[in-house]
Amino acid sequence: MSRERVVITGLGVFCGAARDIPGFRRAVIDGTSGVGPVDLFDVSAFPSHIAVQVKGFDPVAHFGRRTAAKLSRADQFGLIAAGEALGDSGIAGGYDSFAMGVVVGAGAAGMFQSEQWLAAALQERQISPSLLRGILPDKTSTVIAETFGLAGYQGTITTACSSSATAIGWGADLVATGKLDAVVCGGSDTLSMLTFAGFNSLKVVDPEPCAPFSLGRQGITLGEGAAFLVLERESVAAQRGAKVYGAVLGYAMAGEAHHMTAPDPTGQVAARLMHDAMANAGIAKGDVGWVNAHGTGTPLNDVVESNAMKRVFGERAGSVPLISTKPITGHCLGAAGAIEAVATMLALGERTIPKTLHFRGRDPECDLDYCHDSARPATATVAMSNSFAFGGNITSLVLGL
């Protein structure tokens, strides 16, 4: 099936590391971590007290009291990031409402508010039921569609940590095949007691800032935020003289069908995924300059992902840097794929391979090039961004200039 090239004409981000694209570009290129103490809820009972939280966020200042009360924290972050992306693209008024759509990748969604209702219900305390309005993860897509008049399509992908990577791939499908002229796609997710307690209960949270691919790493650092991309067909974007960041060249997704939480230790399916993504993008292995890893910092994931890279790139694996931007942003779960896609696109544009922060020493099982020492200038015009999730839902995006 012939597909027209899908270009990225707008970017938006709102997360613990930075609250707009210029700030996020600096954080990614300079390697500035947003990790700090959590004050959104009480974490004193857990081994880890840190995350990449959006600190001091005042929704009333952004939306006014009445609107803010109707939105979950995930809706609020999503609206801000999608608004930046749409404003950046300049498509307002450029297309009919029915020719534009929205695809959101979501995770815990409105759980931060919903769990407050549950806590009150358990104590038989009266509390506003409006806290439950965002419990379904589709709410963010609806408020974005309504706010910006995107009437052609509304969709929400909920595959945990790969949600928003898949949302970008699906958004690219919708415009490539002419079903929509423009789509805003990405993801939003926030910290919640559910996920903070959950990952801590599984003992996969590092008490120190996460250190992907390092010796002595103990797990993830959670984060929160939202990121969105505006996608259009190249010919249509060119007609209106749009600024173009690059392109979503292709993607693939798969189910490992192995285990709900553990990755397939052989890395076989992850390797097939990367092969399929490159094939879908119509590129060869030699075209890929570097890979933005899922790179959570858990002992097992980082080894499996490194092994999958070896299966894909063979002898060349050591010369394809496998980096992780999660030490900068934290693991933003449902929004991770989109935040990392934006980071990848910005780094490609700056001709820089970002540094993987918080190096603690070389792990003999992680023996590839992770850019632990410093960010690096690069001529690469193509990079991949991997997102792996609970349930074995894995997605790989291929992005290019």
Partner 1 sequence: MIQDTPDIVVTGLAAISAAGVGVEPLVTAVRGGQSCLTPVPEAIAGRAGLRWGKAEKFRAADFMPPLKARKFDRCSLLATVATGMALADAGVTKDSLAPERVGITMGSGFGGITNSEEFLTGYFQKGVDGLTPMLFPNTVANAAASNASIEHHLQGPNVTTVQRFCSAENAFQLACRFIAEGRADVMVTGGVDELTSRMLQGFQALGQNRSFAADYAEGCGLLVLERRSHAEARGARIMGEVTAISTLGLIPAGRESQAVSQLLPSESPKRLCLSGTADLLPAFAALLPDTPRICLPQVTGRSIAMGGLSMVALVATLGAGEQGLHLAASPEGPYYAISFTGGKPV
Cβ proximity to partner 1: between 111 and 242 the closer is 111
Q: Which of residues 69-128 bind partner 1 (CB under 8 A)?
A: 97-98, 101-102, 106-107, 111, 115, 117-119, 121-122
We find the least distance from the C-beta atom of residue 346 to partner 1, in angstroms, to be: 27
CB crowding 39-56: b at 16 or more within 10 Å, else e: ebeebeebebebbbbbee
Choose which of 33, 166, 190, 301 interacts with partner 1 (CB under 8 A).
166
**247 contacts: CB under 8 Å, gap ≥ 6:** 5, 6, 7, 8, 234, 399, 400, 401
d(CA 94, CA 241): 11
Binding to partner 1 by CB under 8 A, coded x per residue (else -) over 24-53, reads: ---------------------xx-------
Cβ proximity to partner 1: between 166 and 190 the closer is 166
Cβ(231)–Cβ(248) under 8 Å?
yes
Sign of dihedral through CA atoms 344, 346, 349, 350?
negative
We find the least distance from the C-beta atom of residue 100 to partner 1, in angstroms, to be: 8
Q: Which of residues 306-325 bind partner 1 (CB under 8 A)?
A: none
**Would you count residue 150 as binding partner 1 (CB under 8 A)?**
yes
Cβ proximity to partner 1: between 278 and 375 the closer is 278
Cβ(353)–Cβ(371) under 8 Å?
yes
Q: Which of residues 196-255 bind partner 1 (CB under 8 A)?
A: 197-203, 252-255
Burial class (CB in 10 A: 0-12, 13-18, 19+), 275: middle
**Would you count residue 337 as binding partner 1 (CB under 8 A)?**
no
Which of 60, 89, 194, 205 is closest to 137 using CA atoms? Answer: 194
- 290-292 and 382-388: which strand pairing? parallel
Choose which of 14, 63, 77, 170 interacts with partner 1 (CB under 8 A).
170
| 15, 210, 331, 366: the active-site residue | 331
Q: Which of residues 173-192 bind partner 1 (CB under 8 A)?
A: 173-174, 177, 179-180
Cβ(99)–Cβ(68) under 8 Å?
no
| 161, 185, 332, 366: the active-site residue | 161
**Catalytic residue at 275?**
no
| 15, 185, 210, 294: the active-site residue | 294
Element containing residue 233 per DSSP (H, E): strand 225-233
Beta strands in 90-224 (DSSP E): 100-106, 153-157, 182-189
Q: Which stretch binds partner 1 (CB under 8 A): 18-26, 172-180, 288-296, 339-347?
A: 172-180
d(CA 369, CA 367): 7
d(CA 214, CA 130): 44
We find the least distance from the C-beta atom of residue 290 to partner 1, in angstroms, to be: 25
Q: How many residues bind partner 1 (CB under 8 A)?
A: 73
Cβ proximity to partner 1: between 256 and 369 the closer is 256
**Catalytic residue at 259?**
no
Cβ proximity to partner 1: between 209 and 334 the closer is 334
**Catalytic residue at 332?**
no
3-class DSSP state of 90: coil
Q: Which of residues 256-285 bind partner 1 (CB under 8 A)?
A: 256-261, 269, 272
Active site residues: 161, 294, 331
